[in-house]
Every structure is written in C-alpha cells, then in structure tokens.
Amino acid sequence: MLNFTVGPVQIQEDILELGKEQVPYFRTDEFSALMKENEKIILSLFDAPENSRSIFMTGSGTSSMEAGVMNFFTAKDKVLVVNGGSFGERLAELCEIHEIPYTQIKLQSGKPLTEEILGSYENKGYTGFLVQLCETSTGVRYDMNMIGDFCRRNNMFLFVDAVSGFLADEISMKKMNINAAITGSQKALALPPGLSVICMDEKAVERCNTNKVHSLYFNLASYLKNGERGQTPFTPAVSILIQLNSRLKELAKDNGKSEHAKIAERASYFRNIIKELPFTVFTDSSALSNCVTALKVNDEKVSAHRLFEVVKDEYKIWICPNGGELKDKVFRVGHIGNLSLSDYDSLAEALKKALAKLEEN
Ligand SMILES: *Cc1c(COP(=O)(O)O)cnc(C)c1O
C-alpha cells in the first residue's frame, strides 16, 4: 500500500513500534517531563516568541480550530475569514456557530489572496483574521508575510490554521505576527490521528485567560493552567503524545529544516514528472503549497473520482479525492508523511495505466 493522501499519512516504522506499547498512567513526573519537552520543541518549530505556550488537544485538527475560535474571539470582535475552500469555509462556519461577527473573503477556487483583495479591508475596524497556511482542498498557500503585515498595520489578532501547512510551508509566529497557530497529528507530524496542537503567544494566552468560554472541554485556560506542570485537564491521547515526543526530538535536531526540505523536494519532483502526463496543476502557480498538489484531469470525459477508485482498487495506491464541485474534476497528491521520491515514480506509472483504462471505456 502507498498512501499519498493528506492525512492520515504514512508513519515511519520506529514510530509505529511505539504505538504497540501498553499505555502508561500519565499523572506522573515522567509524563509531565515528556509533555514539557513536547511543548518546548513545538514552540521552537513554530518559531514562537518568548513567553508563548502550547497546549495539546485530544481531538482532530478541527477541535483546535473550534477551540481557537471559542477562546480567542468574542461577540465584541469583528473578524475576517479567508474562505478559499472547504477548510476556510469551516472557519466561517465556526464563527457562525459561536456568534463571532465575521466577514468572509471568498476566493476563487485555487486562487491566492492578493494585496489588492486585502486592500479593500484596510482600516475597517476588523479585530481578528482567520486563515489557513495551506488551504488543503485546493493546495493554495497563502502569503503569510503579507497577511502578517496587514494584521500588524490594522492591529488584528491573527489565528492561523496550519494543520496541513506546518513543516511543509514556512511558518514563523515571530516574523509573520501570528498570535496563534494550530496543527494536527495526522499531517506532516506523521502520527496517528487524534491529537492537535495550539501554539499561542502572550496575547493569545491572555485572551484565553480573560474570555468567558461556555464549554468545559474547550476551555483553553484550564489546559494552560494544567500545562504549567506538564499535565492536561482530562485524559490525553497518551500514546500519540509519546509518539509525538519521539518525532519532535528527531525534528528538533535541525529545527525541522530537513523535514521541510524533504517535503519541498517531493513536491517539486512530483510536479516535474507529471508534466508528461495529461493533467494540469489546478492551483495558481504563484501560490503552490509544498503540502499537496491538486491536479485537474485534462480529459473531461474521465472522472477524477473514478481515477482515485481505479488507482486504489487496482494498484493499492491512495491519492486524495476532492469533494463538492471539484469531485469529478480534481484530485490531489500529498507530499507529507513517510514517502520517498521513487514512490512518486510508482504513482506516475499507476496513474498512466489507470487513465488509459478509463479512456478505453
Ligand atoms: C486536515 C486539516 C484540518 C483538520 O481536519 P481534521 O479532520 O479535523 O483533522 C484542518 N485544517 C486544515 C487546513 C487541514 O488540512
């Protein structure tokens, strides 16, 4: 089996081994020390400013998206939400549910957010900005330096969903003026699903400690308080946190640089070999994320979703189907997780054969 989806992704062997162990009791000094180490390393990977904190949610990436919206914003805010695909849409939905006043910046599918578009929102009294680092559904990477500058000029709180972009695309909380950012275990961290991480600067921590949150499980102030001694308010995903510790210690050796380079290399290798195949990169070429490549099938008679099925059933290879309007037009190939360059050669072969088969019918 070869898995090119964007999560859960392929896990390396030594991390899988750790998952076989019995689950230890966690209210111990040993586990607290491991949690403190996880916090320290993840903050460094996000290049978080001094006095930042991170907390670990037992829940997939969406739990951290929701916790962020609930804890960082209130009905007194007025936020901008970038909606360039299904994950941007989800941020808007969360603002709607939690009654945070918001305006959506709706983008055309596959197109970047530009200086020109942003310009019309300047000095309009917005207090917060919500955006993905990579909009996974279309493979668009947003220009976080531009967004960070915009937020600084306009004194806005910047919350970034970097669930898929973390390690794939550059992120620096310091340089990009990011107040809070999240990621999830089943993306580039290449762990089992079930855990997500929220990194927060001092401002974000202060908001958590001041805002009144109508939730027990999503009250981040209690995670922050418990985290001071390396603990969590409720039973965490102990096994995944242990696997995370091993993964983070490896990433810490060069602060994530070689992992980032590997992901970028896979993306460029794949984009090069598919030039010979009858697909077109769906995403605007100025805004390609290293995380994933979204491809349009040139032959309109061939359904992208059928292609996904044939490649899965006949070659035991998983590419990532799209949903909604793009279901029959676009599919995606991920570059995160434990994959080698030669895996992409195998994929290209399988795509060629599957396409020939579908065109015959
Ligand atoms: C995967 C992903 C999430 C989280 O999705 P879950 O299924 O809840 O883990 C959030 N945002 C982005 C951009 C993602 O790619």
Sequential pLDDT tens for the chain (361 residues): 999 999 999 999 999 999 999 999 999 999 999 999 999 999 999 999 999 999 999 999 999 999 999 999 999 999 999 999 999 999 999 999 999 999 999 999 999 999 999 999 999 999 999 999 999 999 999 999 999 999 999 999 999 999 999 999 999 999 999 999 999 999 999 999 999 999 999 999 999 999 999 999 999 999 999 999 999 999 999 999 999 999 999 999 999 999 999 999 999 999 999 999 999 999 999 999 999 999 999 999 999 999 999 999 999 999 999 999 899 999 999 999 999 999 999 999 999 999 999 988 7
The span from the first CA to the last CA of the chain, in angstroms, equals 26
Ligand 1: lining residues by beta carbon, under 6 Å = 7, 60-62, 65, 87, 132, 136, 161, 163-164, 184, 187
Q: What's the 275 CA to ligand 1 centre distance in angstroms?
A: 29
Domains 13-251 and 256-360 share a fold: no
CATH code of 13-251, in short, is: 3.40.640.10
The residue ranges of every structural domain in the chain are 13-251, 256-360
CATH superfamily of 256-360: Aspartate Aminotransferase, domain 1 (3.90.1150.10)
pTM value?
A: 0.97
Task: For residue 356, give Cα distances in angstroms to 307, 310, 350, 351.
Answer: 10, 11, 10, 9
Closest atom of ligand 1 to CA, residue 134 = 13
Q: What's the 70 CA to ligand 1 centre distance in angstroms?
A: 17
At residue 321, φ and ψ (nearest 5 deg) are -75, 160
What size, in residues, is the chain?
Answer: 361
Q: Please, are residues 276 and 332 in contact by the beta-carbon 8 Å criterion?
A: no
Fill in the DSSP letter of residue 94: H
Q: Whose CA is nearest to atom 4 of ligand 1?
A: 61
Distance CA 352, CA 109 (A): 26
Q: Which residues of 220-247 are buried (b: 16+ CB within 10 A; e: fewer)?
A: bbbbbebbeebbbbeebbbbbbbbbbbb
Closest atom of ligand 1 to CA, residue 63 = 8
Candidate of 136, 186, 189, 290 to mutate for ligand 1, largest count of ligand atoms within 8 Å of Cβ: 136
Residues 6 or more apart whose Cβ sits within 8 Å of residue 186 = 7, 8, 9, 60, 61, 192, 193, 194
Per the structure block, which two tokens stand in for 271?
A: 């984009």
Per the structure block, which two tokens stand in for 177?
A: 């003026």
Q: What's the 6 CA to ligand 1 centre distance in angstroms?
A: 9
